[in-house]
Amino acid sequence: MRWFTWPNQRCDLMEQTILEKYAEWMEFGKIKYPPITWIGIAIGATVLVGIISFVLSSLIIKELTLIPIAFSIATLVLIIGYPYMKKETIIDGIEKNFSDALKQMADTLKAGDTYESALREVVDSDYGRLSEEMQLALRRLEDGENLDTALTGFAKRIDSRLIRRTITIILDSIKTGASLAEILDEIAEDVRDLQRLKEDRKSNTTMQFMFMIASGGFIAPLIFGEINAVVAAFSNMGGQVTTAAQMAAAQETNNFIIMLIQMYIIIEVIGSGAMMSLIREGKLNKSIIYIPILLLLAFIMYYTSSIVVKGMISGSV
């Protein structure tokens, strides 16, 4: 029965795997903190933001609000997700320079130089983080590892589907004795076309992207802020002719409506951030940035419109 694993042992293994992956993201992004320390910083910042937003909302807004909860969750997600986002940003930069690097390697091989010389040409060129990662692969070659192991480690470290597939094609070409220079030329053109398609996608979806920002961060919160002001005004007018018990019931109903409105705003912001990320990037990872920013804009617009309309109603009464 050695194959059997207790549930608590499986949880420990899963936790260890997640922390190891998180540590890889932080190391790749050059964030010089242990994962546990970084998570502790995120929790501390979340508590601090929650306390500050609760105090400010109590002093300024003076009504039941979900701002402390919403801002605390946004802070926690933003800080914990920062290593992953930094890793993705670095990978995007590497992929943008990858086609030029492959083209340069192909030209070096056509001139009769070796694979190691081709890698050294990329290292000596100004390709940013790509040159740094190639230097690590070149160092493995100098330490006695073969080309297969060095390039496989390079692809595994960058953790990009494009890089992994390209390295697999290069290694298979070397094993079969194909003309690597010509293959690198073809791959470089394909990678350049892929990057061009990504840029075209961003430019073609600019209007949809701006519409999601306007609707999720400005228009809907503006409308719901006006609704909040009108509901509060009717509640105050009714309080002048009702008993204390009826006033308490009306205030409870008012708070319930306000909570529903704010919950809807939070759900709408989450959906808008996810749609913005899918429209712009084709994946959900960038929503980690979009959602907190949209949340801040939405609540600013919500309470700004609510305060302005309340002032207009009280001035006209």
> Domain with 120 in it: what CATH number?
1.20.81
Report whether pLDDT(37) > 90: yes
The pLDDT value recorded for residue 13 is 42
Average pLDDT over residues 13-35: 81
Average pLDDT over residues 218-246: 73
Q: Which two tokens stand for residue 39?
A: 């998570």
Q: 221 and 186 in one domain?
A: no
120-157 tens-digit pLDDT? 888 888 888 999 988 988 888 888 888 888 888 888 88
Q: Measuring CA to CA, which residue among 45, 24, 48, 47 is closest to residue 34?
A: 24
Q: 152 and 245 in one domain?
A: no
Q: 299 and 221 in one domain?
A: yes
Domain assignment of residue 64, yes or no: no
Range of the domain at 239: 205-317
The residue from 159, 193, 227 where one domain ends is: 193
The pLDDT value recorded for residue 5 is 45
Report the domain count for the chain.
2
The pLDDT value recorded for residue 159 is 82
Report whether pLDDT(187) > 60: yes
Give 151: exposed, middle or buried? Use CB within 10 Å, 0-12, 13-18, 19+: buried
When the pLDDT of each residue in the chain is averaged and rounded to a whole number, the result is 82
Work out the pLDDT band at 42, boundaries 50, 70, 90.
very high
The pLDDT value recorded for residue 242 is 57
Domain assignment of residue 234, yes or no: yes
Determine the Cα angle at 8 with ends 6 and 13, to 5°. Answer: 95
Percentage of residues in the chain having pLDDT higher than 90: 8
The pLDDT value recorded for residue 246 is 64
CA gap 314, 32 in Å, rounded: 54
Work out the pLDDT band at 3, boundaries 50, 70, 90.
very low
Q: Measuring CA to CA, which residue among 134, 201, 194 is closest to residue 167?
A: 134
Report whether pLDDT(158) > 90: no
Q: 117 and 189 in one domain?
A: yes
Report whether pLDDT(183) > 60: yes
CA gap 310, 191 in Å, rounded: 56
Report whether pLDDT(1) > 50: no
Q: 214 and 162 in one domain?
A: no
**What percent of the residues of the chain are helix, what percent strand, and what percent coil, each to the nearest 5?**
85, 0, 15
Q: 280 and 223 in one domain?
A: yes
Work out the pLDDT band at 186, boundaries 50, 70, 90.
confident
Domain assignment of residue 1, yes or no: no
The pLDDT value recorded for residue 44 is 95
Q: 210 and 128 in one domain?
A: no
256-274 tens-digit pLDDT? 888 888 888 889 898 888 8
- Comparing 145 with 246, the larger pLDDT belongs to 145
Domain assignment of residue 177, yes or no: yes
Q: 215 and 273 in one domain?
A: yes
Q: 211 and 141 in one domain?
A: no
Q: 273 and 296 in one domain?
A: yes
Domain assignment of residue 71, yes or no: no
Work out the pLDDT band at 40, boundaries 50, 70, 90.
very high
Domain assignment of residue 162, yes or no: yes
The residue from 139, 170, 193 where one domain ends is: 193
Neighbouring residues of 72: CB distance < 8 A, sequence distance ≥ 6: 46, 47, 49, 50, 53
Considering only 18-32, 57-71, 74-88, 210-224, which range has the smallest mean pLDDT?
Answer: 57-71
| pTM, to two decimals | 0.78
60-106 tens-digit pLDDT? 777 778 888 888 988 998 899 899 889 988 998 998 898 888 888 88
Percentage of residues in the chain having pLDDT higher than 70: 89
Average pLDDT over residues 222-237: 78
Work out the pLDDT band at 6, boundaries 50, 70, 90.
very low
Domain assignment of residue 35, yes or no: no
- Comparing 188 with 239, the larger pLDDT belongs to 188
CA gap 22, 3 in Å, rounded: 28
The residue from 193, 228, 254 where one domain ends is: 193
The pLDDT value recorded for residue 49 is 93
Domain assignment of residue 145, yes or no: yes
Q: 156 and 212 in one domain?
A: no
Q: 307 and 223 in one domain?
A: yes
